[in-house]
Each structure stands twice: as C-alpha cells, then as structure tokens.
Structure 1
C-alpha cells in the first residue's frame, strides 16, 4: 500500500493525469509537458497493474487439504476428473466422498475378497471333518480345545475379509475378533458353576451368550456406550467386530442345536450347506451394513485408502 501511495504522489492523482492527457495543447512547450504527463500516467498504470498482480492472494498449500486425497490428477483418479490445478477446476468434495464410498463398496465384492470368502467356507468344511476323527473324539479336552480354536479362526478369518490386512494394526483387530469368537464359550463354565469341562459340555440348557437375540442388543449397547464416552473414530468398527464374532459362532453351533432366538425358543438345526454359505457371506453382509451406516467412510479415513466398512 505504501508503494501505491508513493506512485500516486508523483503525478498527483490518476484523474488529473487523464485530464491532462486528453487536453488539446496550445503550443509546443505545453505539448512536450503533457506528453511527459501522459508517459508518466502510463508508467503509473503499468506499475499499478504489476503491484496488483503481486498483491493478489494465491491459493495456499494448506488449502489443498480441503479437496481431500481423491482430488488429484486424472491419472491417479480418473473417475474424478482434473484436480485443483487442472483446466476444469476442482472436483467438489461431496463428489469425492461419494466416489470413495462407491469404491469401498465395490471392493467388498472384489475378486480377492470373494476368494477369501470361498477359502473361509472350505476351511469350515475341512475343520469340521477333522474334528470327527476318532483320535480327537476320544479325548474330551482335545475335542473342546480344537472346536473352540475353530470358532476363533472362523471369526478371525471373517473379520480379515471385512477390513483387509493392510497395516500392522489390522492384524491386531483380526486377532481380537478371533479372541472374541473364542471366549463366548466361557459362559459354559459360568452356567455350570464349575471349571469341570465335563459339566460345562453337559448343561441342561444353553448358556446366556449363546442367545442369538443378544447379538443386536450387545452391538447397539456397545455403540451407545462409545457415543457416550466419545471414543475416537479408531474404535468405530468395534460393534461390527463383535457382530461378526458372535454371529459366526452362533451359526456354527446352529448346525447341532439350531439358533436360540429368545423369547421364541430354538430353531431347527441348520442344514450344513446353509451354515457354510452363511459363514462365507457374513463378511460381505457386514461390509454392506457398515457402508449403509457410514462406518465404512470412517475406516477409509483411518486406513488412508478406500477399503472394502
């Protein structure tokens, strides 16, 4: 601003210079004087234009964060068009978010995800047949330990299909899902009131954590407690992890005993093919539900990539 005032001070004012430039000269001396005035006016305008171009605000690098990571060059994200520096302007943030959500949903049914689910179904068949071997059936502790380990591996595998294994923290989540699927069987000992394995596996009725009606109740209660405690977004997937762990455990047990849907009682035992197909499709169902409830967006931000929720 000081530079502009100094420039204006050299020729009084811009209006005076324009008047002097348009005034008819009466003699050669006046002619030369006014020509010099016009030259000075032209010089002033040229410098003012340069100053205005220098003073005009330029987009800060910090503003680039407004466009999200998806607003980049066409080569990196062809669905989004040209980014902030392109010819067509920046892609709106809402469009970037919707595109990221669509990519996450499509990745739920990617070839890798489908192959992992098929492998999960095959694992269930192999593990169940292995548990029927006479050498395992003759030892109660071995049979119970392997059956519980199978519950854990199915829950672990299912959650791995949901989130994918991209970071070290993903491995911790997968292990936690397997642990949750395994510790459900501890309610057998609680119901028996003893640490005796024989008493735990010969209960007159099913223990409380094997009631399938508890799954939505526990998951929604956990979500409510997280909202009350204002836990970080990193924990947003915990209710869904609990859902996968309990659902896979209950579906596997339903082959022998059916599902216990309180207060309606027990269903008929599930056909074996239905158990295997349900177990293989549960991770995809969970991913779609997470997409519909917006949980998938938060996980995508946490992981830094669009994930298959």
Structure 2
C-alpha cells in the first residue's frame, strides 16, 4: 500500500500548473472542435463527417497521453502517436459489424459494435497486462494497458454525448451532457496519472522505459 506521503506526492505531481494548463487546453479543444463539427458542410458529407470525427478522437487520445507522460522534450512522441492510433482505431469495428467496407453501411448499423462496449476496456487492459507478465514484458511495455485505457475511454466518453455509455450486460446510459464530456475528458489524464503513481507504474516507466514522469 502506498503511504500518505506517496499519495500526496502523486497528487501534487499530477496537478502541476503546466499539467493543469494542458488539461484546460484539452477541455477548450473539445468544447470548440465538437461545435465546429456540427457545421452543415461537415454533417452533409458522410466521408467528411467520419474522417473529421475520427481525427478528433485521435487528437484527444494523443493529447491525453501527452499529459500523462509529461509535456517535455524527452517525451517519446512515438508513444503519443500510438495513443492517438488506439483512440481512433476502435471505429474499425463498424466495418466488421457491417461486414462491408462501405462507409454508408458502417454508419447505418442496427446496433453498436463490440469495441464500443465500455466494459470491454478493463477486460482487454487486464488481459493485456496478464499477457505481458507471462511474456516478461511488464517493465519495458508497462505503459501499454494504461495507454489503452485512457485512449479507449476518451473515445467512449466522447461517443457518449450522442449515444450514452454501453455497459454490457447492464444496458446503456442516457446521452452524456456535453459539459460532463468536456470535464471528464480533461480530467481523465490526471486520474490515470495518480493511479499510475500509486501502483508504481510510472516509476517503472521512468527507470525502465525512459519515459519522463516529472510533470
């Protein structure tokens, strides 16, 4: 168990002025960009709507992980890009469910595809962590389950403003209020960062993987 001193240190590191400013910027980005995507010129084109929506998922995933690791020159930008990829690649399940590469078919599904079930996130993350432990990758790749959690969670929360959260087998929630989506998305990196501190994941990342954690 982490001591009270360690808990306090984790909280202070995750709430540094620089980190909070980055989160504020993320919240403003979400607020502005999702309003811009409602413009008729975007909504009237399936391709433009799909690509712009997926691009925003990607940017939010990248921004969130950059906050977690620390916005410093030594931050591995490849990881940030990979977080963006994870946040956007979820939408491929639309095509799997449609059984077609047709964008129209993917956008007019009778039900939500499996990767959009929010209870899948902890299951996949824990399975990944177990697999990494068995393969002895827990040090050099210890960040991966955390990255997956924050990238997929940001995607699900954003989708939640339109469809709610699908918590199978319990059903789904009502659509999330827009203000709640903005606040939760902006605070998610800090929650993840504190939990990583308390579990020792960030210390391992710093010593074994070379990720700068001094935020």
- TM class by shorter-chain length? over 0.9
**Runs of 4+ that moved beyond 4 A:** 98-105
Q: Distance in 2 between matches of 1:193 and 1:259?
A: 24
Q: Following TM superposition, by how much is the alpha carbon of 1:300 offset from its aligned partner in structure 2, in angstroms?
A: 2.6
Q: Distance in 2 between matches of 1:165 and 1:234?
A: 20
Q: Distance in 1 between matches of 2:213 and 2:38?
A: 42
Larger Rg: 1
**Which 5+ residue runs of structure 1 have no aligned equivalent?**
1-97
Q: Distance in 1 between matches of 2:213 and 2:184?
A: 26
Q: Distance in 2 between matches of 1:176 and 1:99?
A: 33
Q: Following TM superposition, by how much is the alpha carbon of 1:234 offset from its aligned partner in structure 2, in angstroms?
A: 2.3
> Given the alignment of the two structures, is residue 307 of structure 1 paired with residue 209 of structure 2, yes or no?
no
> Given the alignment of the two structures, is residue 206 of structure 1 paired with residue 206 of structure 2, yes or no?
no
The C-alpha deviation readout for 1:230-249, integer Å capped at 9, x for no partner, is 01522111000000010000
1:188 maps to 94
Q: Following TM superposition, by how much is the alpha carbon of 1:165 offset from its aligned partner in structure 2, in angstroms?
A: 3.5
2:152 maps to 246
Cα RMSD (Å) of the superposition? 1.9
Q: 1:132 to 1:304 in 2, by over 3 A?
A: closer
TM-score (norm 1): 0.65
1:107-186 → structure 2 map (5 Å cutoff): 107-167=13-73, 170-186=76-92
Aligned length: 211
Higher relative contact order (CA 8 A, sep 6+): 2
Q: Following TM superposition, by how much is the alpha carbon of 1:170 offset from its aligned partner in structure 2, in angstroms?
A: 1.6
TM-score (norm 2): 0.92
1:59-78 → structure 2 map (5 Å cutoff): none
Please, which of 188, 193, 196 is the counterpart of residue 282 of structure 1?
188
Q: Following TM superposition, by how much is the alpha carbon of 1:292 offset from its aligned partner in structure 2, in angstroms?
A: 1.7
Q: 1:116 to 1:280 in 2, by over 3 A?
A: same
1:220 maps to 126
1:71 maps to none
Local SS of the residue matching 1:153: helix
1:46-65 → structure 2 map (5 Å cutoff): none
1:259 maps to 165
Q: Distance in 1 between matches of 2:211 and 2:43?
A: 47
**Which 5+ residue runs of structure 2 have no aligned equivalent?**
none
